[in-house]
Amino acid sequence: MSKFKNIHVIDMGTLRLPIPSPSNSLNPPLTDLAPLDTIDISNLNRQFLFRSSDVGKFKAEVAARFVQNRVKGVTITAHNKRIQDFDETFYKQFQLVICGLDSIEARRWINAMLVSIAEEYEADPDSIKPLIDGGTEGFKGQSRVILPSITSCIECQLDMHAPRAAVPLCTIATIPRQPEHCIEWAHVIAWEEEKPFPSLDKDEPEHVTWLYQKALARAQEFGISGVTYSLTQGTIKNIIPAIASTNAIIAASCCNEAFKIATNSAPCLGFENNYMMYSGNDSIYTYTFKHEKKDDCPVCGRKARPLEVDPKITLQELVDSFSVRPEAQLKKPSIRAEGRTLYMQFPPGLEEQTRPNLNKTIIELGLIDGQQVVVTDPAFPLEFNFFFKFKEA
């Protein structure tokens, strides 16, 4: 027996984009919150905790009840909330945290929270809460152990999860080569031109069917096969298939690391080799390596990061670039330089006041090579410190 007797499980469900909150950056309000995660019939084929009678019920509650009935003496508390709904005091009560989150944004948030807690080490030696993180993508997966403020953290490793390159619009519009191109054409171009419904609901079968039919006709026109209803739904919602065997292997790896940390029965991932990658595409392959801690990490480091820019671009182009830069991946960035605010997304009055700067180039704003800037985003409880590194003409 592992002897884990007091466990809390949080399932936050599907979230929409947060909006800035000037009073509490740790808990930004949401523009829209989808229903908390409940069990769908499609969940039954890739796990063993749910039954058909559980469809429609909260995942966290059903999983907690199943394990408590099976393992006597364990207490599991289920929370149907976002991880961001809990403060520092809540996370301080635990010995370790295991994450199986489905978004980079949520991973970055809990990582920043645990690093913040770990900075109190001198006053409280129990403030370091190991973070065990696991994730899967089809037949691929990874597990890693992070000792906050000591080893490489998730923000240090962010460039390993760079956003997928977007398909150029010209390819979608003129020379589609794959079924996904046809689906994106229906999604991005045909929908905007025809507006069959006031707004697109990606969970509404009627809306998905319309996109599927448009994409299918487009594919037939260009002699492309492979457009299906399920592919259409998966493409517009960016769904990555979940493979039961991959999930089981990564979950087992995370539990194994938790056991090693709790019992000291064997060296855990963390100090040396801290990152395990798994691939089941062609046979079964695993690789363990050490991901180095970065001195310029905005979470656990102390140095500003270089921000390579062309000084002739506009501030708008720079702000837009933060969403695709591997080292940033920020969706609603605000930026300020020493002694001046360049652009703020919120509050509305300040956004309106700084909006004219968006059309000015970096040079026109009087910014120079090597100048430090601070970037914030309402989704993360930290500031990102950069310094400009101008590209040579």
Q: What are residue 383's phi and psi, to 5 degrees?
A: -105, 145
Within 10 angstroms of residue 83's Cβ, the number of other Cβ atoms is: 19
**Residue 38 pairs with which residues in a beta bridge?**
58
Sheet strands (E) in the chain? 6-10, 75-79, 97-99, 131-137, 140-146, 275-279, 285-289, 305-309, 334-337, 340-343, 372-376, 383-390
Catalytic annotation present for 170: yes
Query: Is the bond into 347 cis (omega within 30 degrees of 0)?
Result: yes
Q: Count Cβ neighbours within 10 Å for each residue of 302-324 and write b for 16 or more, e otherwise.
A: eeebebebebeebbeebbeebee
Options 153, 170, 268, 300, the catalytic residue: 170
The Cα 143–Cα 346 span in angstroms is: 37
The SS3 of residue 219 is: helix
Angle of CA points 102, 319, 325, to nearest 5°: 50
Q: Which residues are catalytic?
A: 170
